[in-house]
Amino acid sequence: MDSGEARMTTLVAPTPEAGSKPAQIMEAAGSLFLEHGYSAVSMDAVAKKANVSKATLYAHFGSKEELFRAMVACECANSVMSGVWDEAMRLPATEGLRLIGRTFVRFIASAKALGLYRMVLGEVLRQPQLAQAFYESGPAETFQRAGEFMAHAASTGELAITDFDLATHQFFGLLKANMHMKLLLCLSERPSDQDLERFVDAAVDLFAKGYAPEKR
C-alpha cells in the first residue's frame, strides 16, 4: 500500500467539540450523504448546508473523502456499542452476550445505521476506499471487541471456546440472521424492541448451549 492509499483509509480523529466548526460541518455532511448518497453531494453543498465558507470547510477537511471518513468515525465512536464492552465483561458470560446482542441489534436496526449501510453499499464499487474506512471505523472494531469477550468467557471457563474468531462470526450471524438483510432492502419494518429482545435471547441461548463446557 502506498502513502496515498494509506491516507485514504486512515480515519480522522472523531468527536470534535460540540458546536465547533468541524462538528457543524460533519453534521451537515452526514445529513446530505444520507439523504442524497455520497457521489451526489458536493463540497459546495456541504458548505452551504453547514453555513460556512468553502475556505473554512477545506481548512478542516481537505477532501470529500476525508470528510466522509471523519463523519463515519465520529458516528461509530459515539454509537451505543462504544460503551457496552466494559460492562459486558463484568457480567456472567450469557448475560454479557445478551447485553452485547441487544445493544447490537438495536443499533443495526436503527434508521441512521441502516441509512449509512445503504449509502456505503451504493458506493462500494465506485469508492472502495470509503467502504474500507467505514469497515475499519465500526464493524471491525465491534468484531475485535466481541472476540476479546469470547476469549474472556473462555478464560473463566464459562464457555468452551477455542476459536474466538469463528465463535464471533457465529454469534453475529445468529444475531443478524435474515432480519438485517430485509431491513437493508426495505422489505420489512423495524421489529419492536420486545421482538428484538426475544430474537436476541433465542440467539444467545442457542450460542451458549453450543459452547457450554462439558459436565464432568
Fold of 80-210: Tetracycline Repressor; domain 2 (1.10.357)
User: For the ranges 57-66, 73-82, 169-178, 196-205, which has the lowest average pLDDT?
Assistant: 73-82
Fold of 3-76: Arc Repressor Mutant, subunit A (1.10.10)
Q: Is a pLDDT exceeding 90 seen at residue 193?
A: yes
Would you give the DSSP letter of residue 86?
H
Calpha distance 109→136 (Å, rounded): 20
168-177: b (≥16 Cβ within 10 Å) or e: bebbbebbbe
Residues of the chain with CATH 1.10.10.60: 3-76
112-129 average pLDDT score:
88
9-24 average pLDDT score:
68
> pLDDT tens digits for 27-58?
999 889 888 888 889 999 999 999 999 999 99
User: For the ranges 88-102, 133-147, 171-185, which has the lowest average pLDDT?
Assistant: 133-147
Q: Is a pLDDT exceeding 70 seen at residue 3?
A: no
Check residue 182 and give its pLDDT: 96
| 150 three-state secondary structure | helix
> pLDDT tens digits for 127-147?
888 888 888 878 898 999 999
Residues of the chain with CATH 1.10.357.10: 80-210
The residue to which cell 468553502 is assigned: 54
78-83 average pLDDT score:
78
When pLDDT is cut at 50, 70 and 90, the band that residue 7 belongs to is very low
When pLDDT is cut at 50, 70 and 90, the band that residue 8 belongs to is very low
**Helices first, then strands: H and E counts in the chain:** 13, 0
Q: Is a pLDDT exceeding 70 seen at residue 5?
A: no
Cβ-contact 57, 70 below 8 angstroms:
no
Q: Is a pLDDT exceeding 70 seen at residue 13?
A: no
79-93 average pLDDT score:
90
Q: Is a pLDDT exceeding 50 seen at residue 184?
A: yes
Check residue 131 and give its pLDDT: 87
The residue to which cell 462439558 is assigned: 214
> pLDDT tens digits for 137-174?
788 989 999 999 999 999 999 999 999 999 999 999 99
Q: What is the mean pLDDT of the chain?
A: 88
What single-letter amino acid sits at 207?
Answer: F
